[in-house]
Structure 1
Amino acid sequence: MKKTLMVAALTGVFATAAHAQSSVTLYGLIDAGITYTNNQGGHSNWQETSGSVNGSRWGLRGSEDLGGGLKAIFTLENGFGINNGTLKQNSREFGRQAFVGLASDQFGSVTLGRQYDSMVDYVGPLALTGTGYGGTQFAHPYDNDNLDNSFRINNSIKYSSANYGGFKFGALYGFSNDAGSFANNRAYSVGGSYTYGGLNVAAAYLQLNSNVNGVANASGAVSGDNTFVAGRQQTWGAGANYAFGPAVVGVVYTQTNLNQAVGIGASNSGTENGLSLGGGSGHFQNFEVNGRYSLTPALSLAAAYTYTQASIDGIRPKWNQFNLQTAYALSKRTDVYLQGVYQRVNKGSGVDAVINGVGEDSATNNQVAVTAGLRHRF
């Protein structure tokens, strides 16, 4: 009897100790707002929107201490529309992120699953579209450089280093998962950043490959939610931010090159907003200057200007986009915001304005979107 009680007691102790070394966190963000947009089908529009800054999501994040500075980690993150409750990311259950792996305090982490590429990880935080100071509507036209993480990489293995005196780096490879077609719908990227005092610099590269003349590989690295359908997409960029006192200023440059480009935009049709892809080449360059300032611990201002120029089959559109946001924190987890975006495309290009995340695109070469919204984090 005494032995039985002792075993039971020890079992409870070890179970408690094991439980203390593991953790699972439920987290999320809800972003809802009212958006006014002009020039939609020849009319202005008032609409309730979800994720005008940050996409609404909930997720589970967990870790288990394996000893010696090593732990098992996982993240499962779902994206949804708060205005209608539907799934985002082409109705995927965990479309934003889904991965599992091992992490070391000394060497970094290796993870497998559906994950962000290096442009999102390293260059994205330096552009306002990759932060909570602008987000979805501040994206560069068509989110051509993926800094607003319009798509993720399936079947990917990813390495993220530890922080070595301010220097971090990483790489990702997304498998096609297609027997006999190793290069059909695969992806790879690499990037790094360095922080010293108030200075943060970063650079990254992303490449997507697909056989646009063959059978589509629906289970490949990028399937269904990518911005462009092209035989090859090469995207690279670099940027720098500098923080001094309550202010942060930054610059970002990105470039996307397309070969055998046949689809563009959410529908991935050959034509979007007057911009036509007929299987030829395409070239985008984005120049962004941005800044933000904390007037008080609760009140912030942020602004950015982006100039984008493109060359696609003889068409040379040029976009000028101005972005402004102010946000006020009601608590550590809840804030309200007001932001506006104005975009104009040169008339001679025959291309219409295309502000990200406002639903229907502009019917002319300019567009305005103004959103008043509420964000809650849990």
Structure 2
Amino acid sequence: MRKSKVSALLMAIGCSSMAYGQSSVTLYGVVDPALMFVNNAQVNKAGGVPHGAQQYALVDAWTSAYAGSRFGLKGIEDLGGGTAAIFTLENGINMNSGALGQGGLMFGRQAFVGLTNDSWGTVTAGRQYSSMVDYVSPTSSILQWGGYIASHPDDVDNLGMTNRQNNAVKLATPVWNGFSANALYSFGGVAGSTSQNQIITAAAGYTGGPLRVGIGFLSAFDPNISMWGSQPNAGGVTTNNLGSLGSATTPERNPVIAGYASAHREQIFGAGATYTFAQATLGLVYTNTRFIGLGSSSGPNPLGYSGSASFNVIEANASYRVNAPLSVGVSYSYTSASGPDANKAHYNQVNAGAHYSLSKRTDVYMVVAYQHASGVDSLGQPAVASITGMTPSASRQQVVDVIGMAHRF
């Protein structure tokens, strides 16, 4: 009898080991503080005129360049028949203060669960990146080497991942001979109105040999809430979640787009490609962003706009691996804006960076961004330079230099 009980116990332990062997949970993350210099950052807007000064700061790179500090948990469980359950919980943090990123969310970068199968693909539900981010962002300098400050002005096309999608279901195909696609639907959740606050996005791409291509589309209804209000520090329809006009005691925020919070819909189209040969990679990206139906009840409209505004962006980028530890990159983007009342602004931005790997997990880097603005921006003022993640300049020009170290675990 005793032998029978021991045998049963050993069998239970064996079964438990087999179950755990078919599933796993991984803790991962990045620690990425950086020293930042900004030649001109607004301090206030007195008498309707922005005033600025130089800025030196120790920041976390999620506000400036490269990877950005984070930690996450991801897991997979084999359910049999080629199907597995998956989940990801990823938190953004500020290494210098310990503060939570993404407006104070515990898992603000990603939080989803789903099923995956080699034959029919993957379905996930939760807070996720848009399809555009999955396929178009990797062709830009943002994800290759430049980080957040290499995004297009005020991240107007969201390739820099300023906004994630809440309440979202994503369907993704398997990879077929290098081709794949996915689509995402974010529920608005408003009783009596299916379309209010909803987001629809889809994208497709090809990766094979030296070539990578991505194309995508996003349509967000009531973007002041659905896109720009998806974090806990955001407000409702009476709050401008896109940005601010500034005041005698505060600087402006996102002046490139802040005037368009009353848009009924935001549409983004993007396409990009990279080609690698030998040690060099060349890339080209195009995006078109439109704020449609200005003057709706989705957000404040202090300037009384109606109609629509659009932004066309083109980016060329290149990177080169000098040797095993050292790589360098450069990119140029041109943004042309056309808004109501003949408001037109133009933004030219040049980025350059260098990364040196101390090991497989640790590297040091420097990324520099320069932006020049011209014309009249969304706030109806002479356009000021506004590099993504930075306090806008008080003038038409802005330079940001970031030096940091990233350690992955």
TM-score by length of structure 1 reads: 0.91
In the TM superposition, residue 2 of structure 1 has moved relative to its aligned partner by 2.0
Q: 1:339 to 1:211 in 2, by over 3 A?
A: closer
For structure 2, the residue ranges without an aligned partner over 5 or more in a row are 43-51, 236-240, 243-259
In the TM superposition, residue 107 of structure 1 has moved relative to its aligned partner by 1.9
Q: 1:219 to 1:71 in 2, by over 3 A?
A: farther
Please give the alpha-carbon distance, in whole angstroms, between the structure 2 residues aligned to 1:307 and 1:344.
Answer: 10
Amino acid at match of 1:30: V
Instruction: State the secondary structure of the residue aligned to 2:102.
Output: coil
Structure-1 residue corresponding to 2:206: 194
Matches within 5 A, 1:77-116: 77-116=90-129
Structure-1 residue corresponding to 2:274: 241
1:291 has 2:318 as partner: yes
Please give the alpha-carbon distance, in whole angstroms, between the structure 2 residues aligned to 1:191 and 1:201.
Answer: 11
Structure-1 residue corresponding to 2:26: 25
**Does the aligned pair in 2 maintain the 1:342–1:367 contact within 8 Å?**
yes
1:165 has 2:157 as partner: no
Structure-2 residue corresponding to 1:335: 363
User: 1:116-141 CA distances to partner (integer Å, 9 max, x unpaired)?
Assistant: 00110000000011x15001000101
Amino acid at match of 2:163: F
Please give the alpha-carbon distance, in whole angstroms, between the structure 2 residues aligned to 1:269 and 1:36.
Answer: 33
Q: 1:195 to 1:38 in 2, by over 3 A?
A: same
Matches within 5 A, 1:226-265: 227=242, 229=261, 230-261=263-294
Please give the alpha-carbon distance, in whole angstroms, between the structure 1 residues aligned to 2:34 and 2:81.
Answer: 46
Structure-2 residue corresponding to 1:8: 9
Structure-2 residue corresponding to 1:39: 40
Please give the alpha-carbon distance, in whole angstroms, between the structure 2 residues aligned to 1:326 and 1:10.
Answer: 56
In the TM superposition, residue 260 of structure 1 has moved relative to its aligned partner by 3.1
Structure-1 residue corresponding to 2:400: 369
Matches within 5 A, 1:167-182: 167-182=179-194
Q: Report the RMSD for the aligned CA atoms in angstroms.
A: 2.3
Please give the alpha-carbon distance, in whole angstroms, between the structure 1 residues aligned to 2:98 and 2:146.
Answer: 23
Please give the alpha-carbon distance, in whole angstroms, between the structure 2 residues aligned to 1:87 and 1:156.
Answer: 22
Please give the alpha-carbon distance, in whole angstroms, between the structure 2 residues aligned to 1:94 and 1:125.
Answer: 22
Identity %: 40
Instruction: State the secondary structure of the residue aligned to 2:388.
Output: coil
Please give the alpha-carbon distance, in whole angstroms, between the structure 2 residues aligned to 1:21 and 1:316.
Answer: 58
User: 1:89-148 CA distances to partner (integer Å, 9 max, x unpaired)?
Assistant: 11111110000000001221100000000110000000011x150010001011011101
Q: 1:174 to 1:347 in 2, by over 3 A?
A: closer
Q: Which moved more, 1:120-129 or 1:78-87?
A: 78-87
**How many residues were matched structurally?**
365
Please give the alpha-carbon distance, in whole angstroms, between the structure 2 residues aligned to 1:77 and 1:345.
Answer: 35
Please give the alpha-carbon distance, in whole angstroms, between the structure 2 residues aligned to 1:219 and 1:323.
Answer: 26
Q: 1:108 to 1:366 in 2, by over 3 A?
A: same
In the TM superposition, residue 55 of structure 1 has moved relative to its aligned partner by 2.4
Q: 1:222 to 1:161 in 2, by over 3 A?
A: farther
Structure-1 residue corresponding to 2:252: none
Instruction: State the secondary structure of the residue aligned to 1:13.
Output: helix
Picking from 41, 53, 58, the partner of 1:48 is 58
Picking from 114, 127, 150, the partner of 2:162 is 150
**Does the aligned pair in 2 maintain the 1:154–1:220 contact within 8 Å?**
no
Please give the alpha-carbon distance, in whole angstroms, between the structure 2 residues aligned to 1:221 and 1:183.
Answer: 16
Please give the alpha-carbon distance, in whole angstroms, between the structure 1 residues aligned to 2:407 and 2:360.
Answer: 9
**Does the aligned pair in 2 maintain the 1:176–1:220 contact within 8 Å?**
no
1:141 has 2:153 as partner: yes
Please give the alpha-carbon distance, in whole angstroms, between the structure 2 residues aligned to 1:218 and 1:299.
Answer: 37
Amino acid at match of 1:334: T
Structure-2 residue corresponding to 1:121: 134
Picking from 335, 357, 361, the partner of 2:389 is 357
User: 1:256-313 CA distances to partner (integer Å, 9 max, x unpaired)?
Assistant: 01113479xxxx8768xxxx68354110011000010100111000110000000111
**Does the aligned pair in 1 maintain the 2:114–2:124 contact within 8 Å?**
yes
Matches within 5 A, 1:306-317: 306-313=333-340, 314-317=342-345
Please give the alpha-carbon distance, in whole angstroms, between the structure 1 residues aligned to 2:214 and 2:11.
Answer: 51
1:207 has 2:219 as partner: yes
Please give the alpha-carbon distance, in whole angstroms, between the structure 2 residues aligned to 1:300 and 1:277.
Answer: 48
Please give the alpha-carbon distance, in whole angstroms, between the structure 2 residues aligned to 1:78 and 1:195.
Answer: 29
**Does the aligned pair in 2 maintain the 1:186–1:220 contact within 8 Å?**
no
Picking from 77, 81, 86, the partner of 1:73 is 86
User: 1:194-235 CA distances to partner (integer Å, 9 max, x unpaired)?
Assistant: 1232111110000100297xxx68999788497564310110
**Does the aligned pair in 1 maintain the 2:318–2:331 contact within 8 Å?**
yes
Please give the alpha-carbon distance, in whole angstroms, between the structure 1 residues aligned to 2:83 and 2:304.
Answer: 48
Amino acid at match of 2:389: G
